[in-house]
Amino acid sequence: MTPRKSDATIITIGDELLIGQTIDTNSAWMAQELNKIGVWVHRRIAVGDVWKDIWQSLEEESNLSDIILITGGLGPTADDITKPLLCQFFGGRLVVDQEALANVKNIFEVHLKRPLLERNLKQAEVPDVCTVIQNKRGTAPGMWFEKKGKIFISMPGVPHEMKGMMTSSVLPKLQEIFQLPPIVHRTLVTAGIGESFLAERIKDFESTLPANIKLAYLPNYGMVKLRLSTRGNQAKMVAELEAEFDMLKQLVADVMVVDEDKNMTQVIGDILLKEKKTLSTAESCTGGYIAHLLTSLPGSSQYYLGGAVAYANAVKQSLTGVRAETLEKYGAVSRETVTEMAEGVLRETGSDYALATSGIMGPDGGTPEKPVGTVWVGIAGKEETATHQFQFRFDRQRNIELTANYALNAMRRYILGA
């Protein structure tokens, strides 16, 4: 069978996306998963709950793409118009799907233990011209249409419902139909070097890359990911990609965090698991964000013990044992305070390593000596304590995120003795 073309557009539907009340996280996840099976997303469109705008985007995108993935607008309320629109667009009429109906009833009777409303029953209706994609995580079924050789897939906008459908139905079916070479990526992560310095360092490498291998820079909060990609997984192509990737690794060896597409917390988790060591935290300025990043990973309880959110000075004293004299003499944002915080939480939790942060995240609280963005990080181990000072110059949210990533990278280097 000749492989069919497999360019995709993602259309997300909902006024909430256009007035800025919702950030679209679905598209990124969908694009990642589609990439893995070799489907290239070349456009993403967001439109409101407006009949003519949705209709127009369906017409336009079907001229540009082979696969049109649609999320949103399938809820039980009056502003959700996607289903009747799709029904008309594909020339069908709404009929009750028995399996979807049984699913809606089951969710209400067994899980929610609430009476079923008329509007919920309507969720089991689908156009008679689609193949139904059952929703195991919610009430709105998905719909698969084909028209003039193009595929249209409509799914709910609720992330975990969409993900369930993609994983169990949509991706396997697309894989079966298209049989295309997957896109092969090799990614490495650097920290502590800016995008333009990195580009300067590898410009000769970049200019001599074979045409079928593409390099991308992906900067993110003090880290830059470098990604090489090629389309196709024949042994020769993969070997060529690997050879280029090895060369790239050598060029950035001193600033490389890991030679995989992992985030900093995964890298640290891997190291701690391998070394059978534990970690605790004492956070002032990051206010629990580092703990949140660490505990977002499944299995983190194997190496992360917890610690203190030592936000107020009194809590720095009571939970991490910082001395009142230290706070008075040097201030909360100081080498001395983060040293005592790290050593204190290490002692209290019995962990092998401890990470402490204290800084001024803004917008207020800066002084001429310690302006907004001043951060101290302390790292304690059984033998010694290291400290670092950073200076950021951004807004509160970004300062918190940058502090977390810089502190975790300092932690990583400390553990590795690098």
Work out the number of other CB atoms within 10 angstroms of the CB of residue 211. 5
Whole-number minimum distance, CB 58 to its own copies, in Å? 13
Q: Does 38 bind its own copies (CB under 8 A)?
A: no
Q: 288: which 2 tokens?
A: 């629990």
Q: Which parts of 113-142 interact with its own copies (CB under 8 A)?
A: 114, 117, 119-120, 137
Q: Which two tokens stand for residue 350?
A: 């019995």
Least gap, CB of 91 to its own copies (angstroms): 26
Q: With the C-alpha atoms ordered 366, 368, 369, 372, is the resulting torsion angle positive or negative?
A: positive
The residue type found at 112 is L
Considering only CA atoms, give the Rg of the chain.
26
Residues 199-228: x where in contact with its own copies by CB under 8 A, - otherwise, as a string = xx-----x--------xxxxxx----x-x-
Q: Is residue 63 close enough to count as binding its own copies by CB under 8 A?
A: no
DSSP type of residue 107: I
Q: What whole-number distance in Å separates Cα of residue 231 and Cα of residue 185? A: 9
Smallest gap from Cβ 332 to its own copies, in A, equals 10
Cα distance between residue 283 and residue 341, in whole Å: 8
Residues 137-176 that bind its own copies (CB under 8 A): 137, 159-160
44 contacts its own copies (rule: CB under 8 A): yes
Helix, strand, or coil (residue 158)? coil
Residues 65-124 close enough to bind its own copies by CB under 8 A: 75-79, 111-112, 114, 117, 119-120
Nearer to its own copies, 80 or 336 (CB): 80
Task: Give yes or no for residue 51 binding its own copies (CB under 8 A).
Answer: no
Contact flag: residue 24 with its own copies (CB under 8 A): yes
CA pair distance 290, 310, nearest whole angstrom: 13
Compare residues 173 and 396 and give the one whose CB is closer to its own copies: 396
Could you say whether residue 1 binds its own copies (CB under 8 A)?
Answer: no
Least separation in angstroms between CB 251 and its own copies: 15
**Nearest to its own copies of 93, 119 (CB atom):** 119
Q: 327: Cβ–Cβ under 8 A, 6 or more apart, which residues?
A: 313, 316, 317, 337
Residue 382 binds its own copies, judged by CB under 8 A? no
Q: Does residue number 369 form part of the binding site for its own copies (CB under 8 A)? A: no
CA distance 317 to 134: 55
Q: Would strands 150-155 and 131-133 be described as parallel, antiparallel, or unpaired?
A: unpaired
Write out the binding residues for its own copies, residues 243-302 only, by CB under 8 A: 261, 280-281, 283-284, 286-292, 294-296, 298-301
Segment lying near its own copies (by CB under 8 A), choices 36-44, 95-103, 265-273, 378-386: 36-44
Q: Which of 270, 371, 394, 413 binds its own copies (CB under 8 A)?
A: 394
CA 237, 241, 246, 248 dihedral sign is positive
Of 95, 239, 312, 324, the residue at the interface with its own copies (CB under 8 A) is 312
In the complex, minimum distance from the CB of residue 306 to its own copies, in angstroms, rounded to a whole number: 3
Q: Is 65 left (phi over 0), alpha (psi -120 to 50) or beta?
A: beta
Whole-angstrom distance, CA of residue 82 vs CA of residue 138: 17
Judged by CB, which is closer to its own copies: 24, or 97? 24
